[in-house]
Amino acid sequence: DIQMTQSPSSLSASVGDRVTITCRASQIISNYLNWYQQKPGKAPNLLIYAASSLQSGVPSRFNGSGSGTDFTLTVSSLQPEDFATYYCQQSYSTPYTFGQGTKLEIK
Amino acid sequence: EVQLLESGGGLVQPGGSLRLSCAASGFTFSSFAMNWVRQAPGKGLEWVSLISASGGSTYSADSVKGRFTISRDNSKNTLYLQLNSLRVEDTAIYYCAKDQERGFGSGLVDNWGQGTLVTVSS
């Protein structure tokens, strides 16, 4: 199975900050990397697919990059509604594993 | 608007069974692969199973293989997950999740249900 490792596991930031979350795959997955946002008590929401494609309706302050094994999710200017937990997921091969999550908290 | 409505969760004893259902609307259900993803209380996401649009191909995580069975009825726009030989560690919210891809699917989820809680406890 492909292991997905996110860092950091938690992050404190302020409104307006630029933040970056990284995700590393245990083997090459090309660009088959997706990012989801989950708020407490809610289902996840797709933000980025194919490493860098913005899902329809997602604000442009979210940006994804990377290929191969190393990927990043950047939020250019944090808004209050962005404080949530973020998960990466590989869709290269089954089982479609997720990272352990990064909890983004308000400083 | 895509809507996915899960049902069938509840409290069950270890070794017991449940069948989860997911009623889909707002898209051509028979064209898209579907997934189940679960989340244990306070934990991260775990992909459980995928079924192709036709229902002819299925894939499951090793942790549930041989115990859980994914199926679909395209005439009823409904996805199912049969859970057998349940263990305490299967306790989780189970999400019905629409694949972005038609046909065989990819595991990329573009729409999620609200989830149904399965609790396995004696």
pLDDT digits (tens, 9 = 90+) for B90-113: 999 999 999 999 989 999 999 999
- CA-CA distance, B20 to B37, in Å (whole number)? 12
Q: What is the dihedral of CA A4, A31, B59, B83, to 10 degrees?
A: 50
Residue A39 CA to its chain's centroid (Å): 13
DSSP structure string for B64-97: TTTTEEEEEETTTTEEEEEE-S--GGG-EEEEEE
Strand partners, A100: none
Residue in B50, B109, B113 nearest the CB of A46: B109
Task: Using a CB–CB cutoff of 8 Å, tell me whether B46 touches chain A.
Answer: yes
Task: Using a CB–CB cutoff of 8 Å, tell me whether B110 touches chain A.
Answer: yes
Q: What is the pLDDT of residues A33-75, one digit of tens each?
A: 999 999 999 999 999 999 999 999 999 999 999 999 999 999 9
Q: Show residues of chain B in contact with A32, CB under 8 Å.
A: 106
User: Quick one: pLDDT at residue B122?
Assistant: 96
Percentages helix, strand, coil for chain B, rounded to the nearest 5?
5, 55, 40
Q: What is the pLDDT of residues A79-100, one digit of tens each?
A: 999 999 999 999 999 999 999 9
User: Quick one: pLDDT at residue A80?
Assistant: 94
Task: Using a CB–CB cutoff of 8 Å, tell me whether A70 touches chain B.
Answer: no
Q: Show residues of chain A in contact with B109, CB under 8 Å.
A: 34, 36, 44, 46
Mean pLDDT over all residues of chain A?
97
Task: Find where tokens 């009823």 sit.
Answer: B76
Q: What percent of chain B has pLDDT over 90?
A: 98
- Nearest-Cα distance to chain B for A56, in Å, is 10
Q: Do B108 and A95 touch (CB under 8 A)?
A: no
- CA-CA distance, B98 to B94, in Å (whole number)? 13
User: Quick one: pLDDT at residue B37?
Assistant: 98
Q: Do A89 and B95 touch (CB under 8 A)?
A: no
Residue B58's pLDDT band, with cuts at 50, 70 and 90, is: very high
Task: Using a CB–CB cutoff of 8 Å, tell me whether A68 touches chain B.
Answer: no
